[in-house]
Amino acid sequence: MRAREPDSTGFVDREGVPIYYEIHGDGDRDILLVPPSPITHSRIFKAQIPHLARRNRVITFDGRGNGHSGRPTEPEDHSRARNVGDALAVLDSVGSESAVLVAHCHANWWAVELADEYPERIEAWIAINPGVPYLGRSQQHWIDTAQTFEEILDDPQGWELFNRHVITNEHRRWIEFFFSSQLVEAHSTKQFEDAVGWALESTGDVLVGGELGAEIDPPTRPEFEDMCSRLDIPVLVIHGDADVCQHVERGRELARITGAEYVEIEGAGHLTLAREPVKVNTAITNFLEKGKAKEMRTTTWTRALDRPKKALYISSPIGLGHARRDIAVAKELRELQPDLQVDWLAQDPVTRVLDAEGEFIHPASEWLVSESAHFVSKTFEHDLHAFQALREMDEIMVANFMVFQEVIDEGHYDLVIGDEAWEVDHFWHENPELKRGSHVWFTDFVGYLPMPSGGAREEFVAADYNAEMIEHIARFPKVRDQALFVGNPDDIVPETFGADLPKIRDWTEQHFEFPGYITGFTPPGAGESPKIREDLGFDPDERVVIVTVGGSGVGRALLEQIIAAFPLAKKVVDDLRMIVVAGPRIDPESLPGHEGLEIHGYVPELYRHLSVCDLAVVQGGLTTCMELTAARRPFLYFPLQNHFEQNYHVRHRLDRYGAGRHMDYSSSDPESIADAIAAELGKEVDYVPVETDGAYQAARKIVELI
């Protein structure tokens, strides 16, 4: 799932070569993003598009040779004149009279010629890691390989792979070497996979045509320098000083000649727009704000001592259980600090719970990209590769962080509480200077654990993600002013973060505090249950089974299996009443039904129903399972296949409590599910007790930061 889908798309025919474009947003200013095709396409700007499109009309296109555009192979079809003409044709097709150009790498050569030839069409130019001729100095490996590009080499290695025959016949080998060289930053596995994937959408023949076409009829050095110096538009140059594709001196010299604003990112390589998206997005936004026409602006500033005490709470939308515990913590915080104002930056379905509780949801929440929808898009039947889904959420995390940071910069918050707000924790560690106020980090698991189906690659990547987190905390320990593990040390899996990395429990005990589990409610006592059952419409002589799969919408397959088991279980348990809760993201009408079976959508305060049922059948999510454990209810749970958290972290915790009966979805059919329902209904349980003061204990630790 993309962080932002285009509002419209189209093609421009360029002498038989279709050029694909997209339009995002409808702001007054047009921004044209120009990718360095054919080695990549418009998706290289995926971290910039959602942010820029909130206030501008962003136009992207796939350059000739990649993406949805045509694949010509002849050098003349890849000349600078053709590429400049493509950009102009796209602007004409979408009705753009003038635009800001944003270009990466060698696309900046086209940008110079476009701005020079059509100055009335270009308002400003943002050059990212510019690959322009003559300026500064070329990397030595490009000089060396220029001599061997056409030769047939016996055993090319390293930069010798930049060779016509290698690129044509061993395209992947060249591409993997090239991007592994460009991503000099540690922990860049996702950016590497993206870049390689985009490059492989083209072919070696196209790539060679692009290389040769760039050299057709080049300007002389004086001609090119004159083009740059006579540009009469604002220019921003962004360059990583560790760029091994375009030497940083090129960016510096281009900025000098054009009189540009210059941003140099120390330690960054060639793919700054992908590897340092927050810095790049912020630099672009600040540059564009400076270029706005002068207008009267009114601002109000409140003295610091006169400001109310404010907390911004971010509750993970991946599962409704986070919302229940977060509301409980917020209520305890208000008890301890009555003048505290709590605002929520939240998404559906969390907003439904917050609305019901009368909580204030920050208006900027409407800009957030749905993380729940992303996870649903990655689900197949009862299979969710959670670790890979988290990795593929990278552009959503950038988009949502930019919204969050804007709220923080304008809101004067004393405290940020993030319940598994991954984007906040990650990008504040990547950009610690952006942190405002105190930061509390909540989580109920620590450590990405590879699934066997992912093989050696997933084992390596999961360890790399863990290592990055460990390095973040070691280098910037003050980004997290308070780290709270929702549970106790014994709840932590007895595993390591990966080869040569610490044991998860040892590291977590050093860096977290443990308020105990947070249920978000007080389970009813034995004397209270009959009254609650009566209030909910449960008869004393019926045995009630509640079926629920949470709020994310990934449990349809499990619901359908359990529904199919209902008539079989009903034959064995005559007084069985089954209530299926589809949740806020699954249409109850879309599920199959049986006589006597009840199917509902979103049910407020579902925890009350679960706390007095005779049996629950659920997915393997932690919060629902722990609510049932706290209420001492029997339950069946079916972890999603390939979901590392449910299969390892949650199951370990439930085993510790002696709670629930684990069921394997792949080996369970309606008959076996019906048998399990009949066997577990009303079963006496002997779980380890769950503490009921977790929310208070968490709030007591948090309030010290206000």
pLDDT digits (tens, 9 = 90+) for 514-531: 999 999 888 898 789 999
Q: 256-265, 293-302, 536-545: which has the minimum mean pLDDT?
A: 293-302
Q: Please indicate, yes or no, if residue 152 is contained in any of the structural domains.
A: yes
Q: Please indicate, yes or no, if residue 2 is contained in any of the structural domains.
A: no
Q: Does one domain contain both 502 and 618?
A: no
Q: What angle do CA 304, 310, 313 make, to 5 degrees?
A: 145
Q: Please indicate, yes or no, if residue 362 is contained in any of the structural domains.
A: yes
- Say what the pLDDT of residue 317 is: 83
Q: Does one domain contain both 202 and 217?
A: no
Q: Are 278 and 272 in contact (CB under 8 A)?
A: no
Q: Does one domain contain both 238 and 366?
A: no
Pick the last residue of a domain from 211, 236, 256: 211
Beta sheet of 310-315, edge-to-edge order: 360-361, 341-345, 310-315, 415-419, 438-443, 482-486, 513-516
CATH number of residue 271's parent domain? 3.40.50.1820
Tell me the per-residue pLDDT of 188-235, one tens digit each, with 9 for 90 and over. 999 999 999 999 999 999 999 999 999 999 999 999 999 999 999 999
State which of 348-362, 541-555, 644-658 shows the largest mean pLDDT.
644-658
b/e sequence 652-685, b meaning 16+ C-beta within 10 Å: bbbeebebbeebebeebebeebbebbbebbeeeb
Q: Please indicate, yes or no, if residue 73 is contained in any of the structural domains.
A: yes
Q: 82-91, 210-219, 502-511, 576-585: which has the minimum mean pLDDT?
A: 576-585
Q: Tell me the two tokens of residue 321.
A: 């259980």
551 band by pLDDT with thresholds 50, 70 and 90: low
The average pLDDT across 634-655 equals: 97
Average pLDDT, the chain: 94
User: Taking 90 as the threshold, does the pLDDT of residue 163 lie above it?
Assistant: yes
Tell me the per-residue pLDDT of 678-692, one tens digit each, with 9 for 90 and over. 999 988 999 999 999
b/e sequence 380-396, b meaning 16+ C-beta within 10 Å: eebbbbbbbbbbbbbbb
Q: Does one domain contain both 353 and 219?
A: no
Residue matched to tokens 């390095």? 471
The average pLDDT across 289-304 equals: 70
Q: Are 233 and 125 in contact (CB under 8 A)?
A: yes
User: Taking 60 as the threshold, does the pLDDT of residue 294 lie above it?
Assistant: no
User: Taking 90 as the threshold, does the pLDDT of residue 59 lie above it?
Assistant: yes
Q: 80-93 vs 107-117: helix axis angle to the nearest 10?
A: 70
Pick the last residue of a domain from 194, 211, 228: 211
Q: Please indicate, yes or no, if residue 299 is contained in any of the structural domains.
A: no
Q: Please indicate, yes or no, if residue 444 is contained in any of the structural domains.
A: yes
- Say what the pLDDT of residue 433 is: 97
452 band by pLDDT with thresholds 50, 70 and 90: very high
Q: Identity (one letter) of the amino acid at 607?
A: Y
**C-beta atoms surrounding 154 within 10 Å:** 5
This prediction has a pTM of 0.95
Q: Tell me the two tokens of residue 333.
A: 């915080």
- Say what the pLDDT of residue 657 is: 98
Q: Identity (one letter) of the amino acid at 458?
A: E
- Say what the pLDDT of residue 612 is: 94
Alpha helices in 122-266 (DSSP H): 140-146, 164-169, 171-182, 189-199, 204-213, 221-229, 248-258
Q: What angle do CA 551, 557, 560 make, to 5 degrees?
A: 100
- Say what the pLDDT of residue 303 is: 80
Q: Please indicate, yes or no, if residue 241 is contained in any of the structural domains.
A: yes
Pick the last residue of a domain from 264, 290, 316: 290
Q: Does one domain contain both 245 and 105?
A: yes
Q: Does one domain contain both 127 and 156?
A: no
Reported in sequence order, the residue ranges of 395-468 that DSSP labels E, i.e. its strands, are 415-419, 438-443
How many residues belong to the chain? 706
305 band by pLDDT with thresholds 50, 70 and 90: confident
How large is the C-alpha radius of gyration of the chain?
29
Q: Does one domain contain both 278 and 130?
A: yes
Sign of dihedral through CA atoms 32, 84, 179, 375? positive
Q: Are 490 and 516 in contact (CB under 8 A)?
A: no
Q: Please indicate, yes or no, if residue 381 is contained in any of the structural domains.
A: yes
Sign of dihedral through CA atoms 161, 163, 167, 170? negative
Nearest to 204 by CA among 245, 180, 244, 173: 173
Integer angstrom CA distances of residue 305 from 81, 308, 335: 60, 8, 22
Q: Are 100 and 114 in contact (CB under 8 A)?
A: no
Eight-state DSSP code of residue 55: T
Cα separation of 643 and 385, whole Å? 5
- Say what the pLDDT of residue 297 is: 61
User: Taking 80 as the threshold, does the pLDDT of residue 389 lie above it?
Assistant: yes
Residue 129, CA atoms < 13 Å, CB-side half-sphere: 27
Q: How many structural domains does the chain have?
A: 4
User: Taking 90 as the threshold, does the pLDDT of residue 440 lie above it?
Assistant: yes
For residues 523 and 248, the model is more confident at 248
Tell me the per-residue pLDDT of 453-481, one tens digit each, with 9 for 90 and over. 999 999 999 999 999 999 999 999 999 99
Q: Tell me the two tokens of residue 401.
A: 């962080």
Q: Does one domain contain both 121 and 261?
A: yes
Cα separation of 600 and 579, whole Å? 8
Helix (H) or strand (E) holding 666: none
- Say what the pLDDT of residue 671 is: 97
Q: Does one domain contain both 342 and 465?
A: yes
Q: Are 308 and 341 in contact (CB under 8 A)?
A: yes
b/e sequence 412-422, b meaning 16+ C-beta within 10 Å: ebbbbbbbbbb
CATH number of residue 664's parent domain? 3.40.50.2000
- Say what the pLDDT of residue 629 is: 97
Note down the domain range covering 178: 140-211
User: Taking 60 as the threshold, does the pLDDT of residue 295 lie above it?
Assistant: no
Q: 404-408, 548-552, 583-587: which has the minimum mean pLDDT?
A: 548-552
Q: Are 56 and 25 in contact (CB under 8 A)?
A: yes
544 backbone dihedrals φ, ψ, rounded to 5° = -100, 125
User: Taking 60 as the threshold, does the pLDDT of residue 13 lie above it?
Assistant: yes
The average pLDDT across 386-404 equals: 97
- Say what the pLDDT of residue 293 is: 53
Q: Does one domain contain both 609 and 570?
A: yes
Q: Are 547 and 580 in contact (CB under 8 A)?
A: yes
Integer angstrom CA distances of residue 658 from 50, 517, 628, 687, 702: 46, 15, 12, 5, 31
Integer angstrom CA distances of residue 455 from 448, 449, 462, 634: 14, 12, 11, 35
Q: Does one domain contain both 423 and 275?
A: no
- Say what the pLDDT of residue 210 is: 96
Q: Which residues on neighbouring strands pair with residue 311, listed in sequence order? A: 342, 415
- Say what the pLDDT of residue 522 is: 87
Q: Identity (one letter) of the amino acid at 528?
A: E
The average pLDDT across 370-382 equals: 90
Q: Does one domain contain both 32 and 100?
A: yes
- Say what the pLDDT of residue 67 is: 97
- Say what the pLDDT of residue 552 is: 63
